[in-house]
Amino acid sequence: MSDLSPRDLEELAHAKEALERPSLAIRIADRLGMPVEALVKRLPEGAQRIVARGTHRALDAALELALRTLDRGTGPASDAVHRGLAVAMGALGGAAGFAGLVLELPLSTALMLRSIADHARAQGEDVSLVETRLECLTVFAYGSRSAADDAADSAYFAVRAALGRAVSQAAEYVAQRGAAGAAAERTAPALLHLLSRVAQRFGVTVADKAAAQLVPIIGAAGGAAVNALFIDHFQSTARAHFTVRRLVRAHGEDAVRRAYVGV
């Protein structure tokens, strides 16, 4: 494979900055003027369990969307449109409190998945392929950090390798069953394994969002601001992830990985 051009290296550097940037919790804290840890303490008792269940339901709905309809759509990434809808959903969720968040999260996740697919198309991905659609779902993991992460385990290419295997197994299962059949049987081990991998990381970010959105002082305006950060975070992650994939297609995994370390 050829060496990366100066433009390729510049794009890779921007992608790395997005993929290794501070977590959403830090961005929320900067915007709201208080650490997320302080906000978490204000959550109602049992809220973490409800948020965890909501995360799994949201990802389950996103998986069905990915299997059935995600390939519909053309044109460039429409960040502004998706961000505007997410802000409106966040305002409703913030105004309605905890009940609003439970209802809003699956809608926001589905909206973000469509925005992620836009970025996949913009980087030359074929979203009619099931494996590409499942790859879109993994962006929720790349844009999050597991509570158990350390400096080595949180590296982008380490997460990429683990999720890549899970995507391949899930895609193989879907190929055997067909998209409709797989969507109807989402409890299959291959699909559950992929969802659990993504949920493990995405749930941490959802908890940060919930902590900020559910405190009484936030309300509708704060909910809108939090959702704007939420979707912007994953749009940036999607753009970066699919940029890396485009460069890997052109130059090979090893060359891009070496360059990623050095930029």
| Nearest-angstrom CA–CA distance, 137 and 202 | 10
Query: What is the rounded distance in angstroms from the CA atom of residue 131 to the CA atom of residue 53?
Result: 26
Q: Which two three-digit tokens encode residue 13?
A: 């550097």
- Give the pLDDT score at 223: 62
Number of C-alpha atoms within 13 angstroms, CB side, residue 135? Answer: 24
Q: Which residue has the tokens 């601001």?
A: 225
Q: Which three-class secondary structure state does DSSP give residue 146?
A: coil
H-run or E-run covering 77: none
Consecutive H or E run containing 166: helix 156-177
The pLDDT value recorded for residue 112 is 87
Residue 19 is encoded by which pair of tokens?
């993929």
In order along its 263 residues, the chain shows pLDDT tens digits of 468 999 999 999 999 999 987 677 777 777 666 677 776 666 666 777 888 888 898 999 999 888 888 776 555 555 555 555 545 555 555 444 566 667 778 888 888 898 899 999 999 999 999 999 999 999 999 987 665 554 444 589 989 999 999 999 999 999 888 877 777 777 789 999 999 999 999 988 888 877 777 665 454 455 677 777 888 889 999 999 999 999 999 999 999 999 999 88
| pLDDT attached to residue 151 | 46
Q: Would you state the pLDDT for residue 124?
A: 94
The per-residue b/e assignment along 147-167, b for 16 or more CB within 10 angstroms, e otherwise, is eebeeeebbbeebbeebeebb
pLDDT for 136:
96
The residue type found at 82 is: H
Buried b (16+ CB within 10 A) or exposed e, 48-60: eeebeebbeebbb
Helix axes 156-177, 253-262, angle to 10 degrees: 150
In the chain, % helix, strand, coil (3-state, to 5) comes to 75, 0, 25
Question: Any idea what DSSP says for residue 45?
Answer: T
- Rounded to two decimals, the pTM is 0.84
